[in-house]
Amino acid sequence: MKVDQYHIPVLLNEATQALVSDLSGFYVDVTFGGGGHSRAILDQIENGKLLAFDQDSDASVNHITDDRFSLVRQNFRNIQNVLEAFGHGFPVGILADLGVSSFQFDNPERGFSFRFDERLDMRMNKDAVLDAYDLLNTYDEGQLENIFSQFGDFKAVESKRLTSNIIEARAKNKLTTTQDLVSCIEFLVPQKVKNQFLARVFQSIRIEVNQELNALVEFLNQLPKVLKNEGIVSIITYHSLEDRLVKNFFKTGNCKGDLEKDFFGNISKPFDLVNKKPIVPGDAEIKLNPRARSAKLRIAKKR
């Protein structure tokens, strides 16, 4: 499979050009995917090194043949342990593109999209135990309501209605395919907003299946320990839940956004913002890649 079929890199130039400051430095791309961002980094460095992470075994099809490049099949929540084992010291730049790859969305067998009638899956790591099928057929009422309210931004009454219909449907027959899920909830909203509604439902389930926000928090908390002083981190987010975590962390040094001060009253935070406001795609990029429309790039430098 060609790289351009796998994933169209979002904010490619903006994310990588700000990242590379040392042509001989060590860099990390924690979301390899189709390899577009990694290739852009390699194009800019000379005799530096690049380590890439991806928990999805399918990403290996895009492995880059280059002595400067290494790919590990790991979730970025394990960044500190992996870097210690890798032995190249502290990276001068770390990049994360938090979006689900186009390949994962467009491959029916992965069960990420309601456009196809396939088995409910949604695992980014195909070896993970929990998938969408297990979640929808085993989670209790409170767990399901919490998922939809927290990760889909549904109101309490909406989460209850969603959950009630899912539980009623699964009592008759297990929800096995994406269409099984769609058919028991799509009538809850008018046809004109059905796609947006289903996208939020599927997002909620996907985030829970992959523990995406927990992994992001763990990754962010390790950044001050693994990044070189004055090193750069570029992070691309796609929805408000993850963007809020990144924004808070860069501004305050913690994901809750609480300002902490030292003994002398100085604000204790490990990063300074490079861009005060997030960088977003222009009209031309969105036209070429509609999935980029919600992307936000935040860049920070370690003190």
Residue 296 backbone zone (phi > 0: left; psi -120 to 50: alpha; other: beta): beta
CA distances from 297 to 75, 109, 301 (A): 21, 30, 14
Which pLDDT score is estimated for 116? 87
Cα 104 to Cα 6, 63, 64: the distances in Å are: 8, 17, 20
Are 71 and 86 spatial neighbours (Cβ–Cβ below 8 Å)?
Answer: no
Q: Tell me, what's the pLDDT at 88? A: 86
Q: What is the pLDDT of residue 66?
A: 97
- Domains within the chain, CATH numbers bracketed: 3-103+212-302 (3.40.50.150), 108-210 (1.10.150.170)
The CA distances from residue 127 to 54, 130, 131, 222, 261, in Å, are 13, 9, 10, 25, 43
How many other C-beta atoms can be found within 10 angstroms of the C-beta atom of residue 155? 10
Using the structure block, give the residue that is written with the tokens 């342990």: 81
3-state SS, residue 11: coil
pLDDT in the model for residue 1 = 36
What is the model's pLDDT at position 191? 94
Residue with tokens 């406001």: 277
Give me the pLDDT at residue 3, please. 42
**Tokens standing for residue 162:** 């969603």
Residues 234 and 18 sit within 8 Å (Cβ to Cβ): yes
pLDDT of the chain along its 303 residues, tens only? 344 444 579 999 999 999 999 999 999 999 999 899 999 999 999 999 999 999 988 888 899 999 999 999 999 999 999 999 998 899 999 999 998 876 676 777 888 889 889 999 999 999 999 999 999 999 999 999 999 999 999 999 999 999 999 999 999 999 999 999 999 999 999 999 999 999 999 999 999 999 999 999 999 999 999 999 999 999 999 999 999 999 999 999 999 998 887 777 777 889 999 999 999 999 999 999 888 999 999 999 999
Which pairing describes strands 271-273 and 232-237: parallel, antiparallel, or unpaired?
Answer: unpaired
Residue 165 CA to residue 185 CA, distance in Å, equals 6
Label the pairing between strands 232-237 and 296-302.
Answer: antiparallel
Query: Cα(268)–Cα(85) distance, rounded to whole angstroms?
Result: 29
Please choose, from the candidates 255, 281, 289, 279, the residue with its C-alpha nearest in 3D space to the C-alpha of residue 269: 255
Supply the pLDDT for residue 221. Answer: 97
Query: What's residue 143's pLDDT?
Result: 98
Q: According to the model, what pLDDT value does residue 102 have?
A: 67
